[in-house]
Structure 1
Amino acid sequence: ARDVGDLALLLSVLAGPDPRAPMALGEPGHRFAAPLEPTPRALHGLRVAWSLDLGGAFAVDEEVAVVTEQAGRLMARHGARVHGAHPDLSEGDDTFRTLRAWHLHAKLGPLLAEHPGELKASLADNIRAGAPLTGTDVARAYTQRTTLGERMRQFFTHHDLLVLPVSQVAPFPAEQEYPTQVAGRPMASYLDWMRSAYLVTVTGCPSIAVPAGRTPEGLPVGVQLVGPHGSDRRLLEVAAAFEAAREQG
């Protein structure tokens, strides 16, 4: 989306209950279409937990770290109560990788068997990682996902928002499959460099990525704003406020 307002409009079309998805949330999608107030006022008094790396859960390049810190300072200047804090998502890595591999193997395993050697190596490796998983492994991952969800619920009783990097690195060349190192730390696989994103995804909490600044070379860097489960509309309002704060400086 070009801006938060565009994203809200898109959600007003996409979101909402549907008989083909009986487990979907019941709120109508048109609630997202209400105009967002393009002013930083929504940041005032907001209890913001700021974290660079979720307590050392992943590496972050210096140029991304600088922009992420600037985002926290910007919110503080506009009245948010910003302090360093983060939830414990230590089970997130095993949970995400187990469920991802299980789903990939179930969906794409037959395709890989039919066309060995034709899928790119990183995808083939991810699919094969699901083959040895047992019911016990999958049950453990789902149990951990429930634990993560409850831990986030408790975290958001003390905080309104969690702010952290979207990506651990600035944009890299399209022909490069993935960064081989981040902040000097080797990335062993295609998944290692995106922990900042999937550790949030696996909690089930809504998150919105917003532009936050640029590197000295002019490459865009974003931060993600994360809210409690069910706070999608509120999160859009906060993101619109952050967008307006960046325009004011």
Structure 2
Amino acid sequence: MSDILSLSAVEQAAGIARGGLSAEALMQATLERIAAVNPRVNAIVSLREAEALLAEARAADAMDPSGPLHGLPIAIKDLADARGLPTSQGSPAFAGRLAEADSLHVARLRAAGAIIIGKTNTPEFGLGSHTYNPVHGTTLNPYDPSVTCGGSSGGAAVALSTGMLSIADGSDMMGSLRNPAGWCNVYGMRPSWGRVPPEPEGEMFLHQLSTNGPMARCPADLALQLDVMSGPVAGVPNPMPYEAMGEIAPRAQGCRIGWLGDWGGALPYEGGILPLCRSALEALEEQGAVVEELAPPFSRDALWEAWVTLRAWSNAVGLEPLMANQQTRGQLKPEALWEAETGQALSAMDVNQASTIRSEWYRRAAELFESYDALALPTAQVWPFPVEQTWPREVAGVAMDTYHRWMELVIPVSLIGLPAVAMPAGFGAAGLPMGIQLIGRHGGDKRLLELAEAYHRRTHWPTRRPPPIN
């Protein structure tokens, strides 16, 4: 792999700004890497023509830097719009439909100087943590192509781990920035809800579960991209005050971390995951952090009840136009139909009860963060599973009653909009990666990145490239 592709995004951007690296050389190396690797993993889709991209890179070299991402190639997750590119959302209902304008965060990336080269693959409508769909096919895990890379930001995670990109965007409702990062040995960050604003359109108050965020191979690159994506916008309620991440210094000394493990025995895990993730925290303990076993701070069953209700309600609203049309309804995968039908059957009182539970958990979490700087959980309850399998039907002998129950450990974050950084935790006995989540108080994004930077400087896991693609 080209040496310039091994650089971080911060280093690439600095090289372009100083004139020591050209955007054209970076683009040429990127396209060569994609040609060599992408046919084997299918992470980047809807790739633009090489000549157009090289011309755009040459134009970037001919001007003063337009922003902190000037000249950096990036591909956009195929749930968001990038002007002139198709946004299929992995669904035949939208295949080939060209976006007329950028989504809000995409416009910010473009304005910061990033060159949009194409899209990254995702499951249909982003549902399920396994990146496959009838439009673009399946994205494979580069550490073992017979297993899943996770999702729904699976294409982004694979593009990063294989060196095809240095930064990527993603979105996270139920672990979609965290699970694929863990299974692909990279970093993914779900920011505090409101830091990266949603689109200023449609209903703006009720559906506060999903957010866009950055993915990268190091915490400094997460911060670089998060700065660009963040900030209030007119027409979007509940904004977070803009706080520049700036340069992220490592800081672990004196930090208290609560290890939640298996939530007091309530969450099943496949063998090897819990000890691997707990041992990963030793990299922070060696730098002065204190890790303590933490009893379950809230009812697992109550969290799940609230989550299933609010998620299905939100998804049913988004899928309603497709459900109303017999042709598009017949194109939906079973999991999408389940979400829509479950959501449509809810009453207003069901939703209110779920939001009451959510509010109770928010208050309890606020109490926890009076004593702890961060909480920690793995990024998944299972190892990457075979690509032929749509989702795990059981975990450690426990039957899963929904298509997403095996990802239950991500919902304490998603339900109340907490920030979380997924960090590589190492590799299991079969050579597959796993990740660990560091979870912070709402608004504590920079503190989490400082912890992650301390961890990264001690571990450097992403430098362990996928063997067949090295």
For residues 64 and 206 of structure 1, the distance between their equivalents in structure 2, rounded to whole angstroms, comes to: 22
Q: 1:22 aligns with which of 237, 249, 254?
A: 237
Q: Which residue of the partner structure matches residue 110 of structure 2? A: none
With over 3 angstroms needed to count, the CA separation of the structure-2 counterparts of 1:92 and 1:212, relative to structure 1, is same
Q: Which residue of the partner structure matches residue 297 of structure 2? A: 87
Choose between structure 1 and 2 for higher RCO, CA contacts under 8 A separated by at least 6 residues.
1
List aligned pairs for 1:72-221, cutoff 5 A: 72-85=281-294, 86-90=296-300, 91-114=302-325, 115-221=328-434
Q: Secondary structure at the match of 1:129?
A: helix
Q: Which residue of the partner structure matches residue 181 of structure 2? A: none
- The offset of 1:109, in angstroms, is 2.7
- The offset of 1:247, in angstroms, is 4.1
**More displaced, 211-220 or 167-176?**
167-176
Q: 1:5 aligns with which of 194, 208, 220?
A: 220
Deviations 1:208-248 (A, max 9, x none): 10101111121110000001111011111111111122249
Matched, 1:52 2:265: no
RMSD: 1.7
For residues 265 and 330 of structure 2, the distance between their equivalents in structure 1, rounded to whole angstroms, comes to: 36
8 A Cα contact 1:152 1:203, kept in partner: no
- The offset of 1:167, in angstroms, is 0.9
Give the number of the structure whose alpha-carbon radius of gyration is greater.
Answer: 2
For residues 240 and 218 of structure 2, the distance between their equivalents in structure 1, rounded to whole angstroms, comes to: 25
For residues 242 and 287 of structure 2, the distance between their equivalents in structure 1, rounded to whole angstroms, comes to: 31
8 A Cα contact 1:89 1:199, kept in partner: no
For residues 89 and 10 of structure 1, the distance between their equivalents in structure 2, rounded to whole angstroms, comes to: 35
Q: So what's the TM-score if we normalise by structure 1?
A: 0.91
Q: 2:274 aligns with which of 41, 45, 65?
A: 65
For residues 136 and 164 of structure 1, the distance between their equivalents in structure 2, rounded to whole angstroms, comes to: 32
Letter in 2 for 1:225: L
Q: Secondary structure at the match of 2:447?
A: helix
Q: What fraction of aligned residue pairs are identical, expressed as a percent? A: 36
8 A Cα contact 2:284 2:454, kept in partner: no
**More displaced, 143-152 or 107-116?**
107-116
For residues 79 and 247 of structure 1, the distance between their equivalents in structure 2, rounded to whole angstroms, comes to: 19
- The offset of 1:203, in angstroms, is 2.5
- The offset of 1:170, in angstroms, is 1.7
With over 3 angstroms needed to count, the CA separation of the structure-2 counterparts of 1:104 and 1:220, relative to structure 1, is same
Deviations 1:128-156 (A, max 9, x none): 10122111011111111111111000011
Q: 1:235 aligns with which of 448, 451, 469?
A: 448
Q: By percentage of residues, which structure has more helix?
A: 1
- After the TM superposition, which parts of structure 1 deviate over 3 Å for at least 4 consecutive aligned residues? none
* Count of residue pairs the alignment pairs up: 242
Q: So what's the TM-score if we normalise by structure 2?
A: 0.49
8 A Cα contact 1:48 1:163, kept in partner: yes
With over 3 angstroms needed to count, the CA separation of the structure-2 counterparts of 1:18 and 1:110, relative to structure 1, is closer
Deviations 1:91-135 (A, max 9, x none): 211111101111111221331242343211122111110122111
With over 3 angstroms needed to count, the CA separation of the structure-2 counterparts of 1:202 and 1:89, relative to structure 1, is farther
For residues 227 and 19 of structure 1, the distance between their equivalents in structure 2, rounded to whole angstroms, comes to: 27
**More displaced, 109-118 or 194-203?**
109-118
Matched, 1:35 2:247: yes
Q: Secondary structure at the match of 1:103?
A: helix
**More displaced, 87-96 or 151-160?**
87-96
- The offset of 1:89, in angstroms, is 4.5
Letter in 2 for 1:9: L
For residues 174 and 16 of structure 1, the distance between their equivalents in structure 2, rounded to whole angstroms, comes to: 38
Letter in 2 for 1:87: P
For residues 445 and 261 of structure 2, the distance between their equivalents in structure 1, rounded to whole angstroms, comes to: 23
**More displaced, 10-19 or 169-178?**
169-178
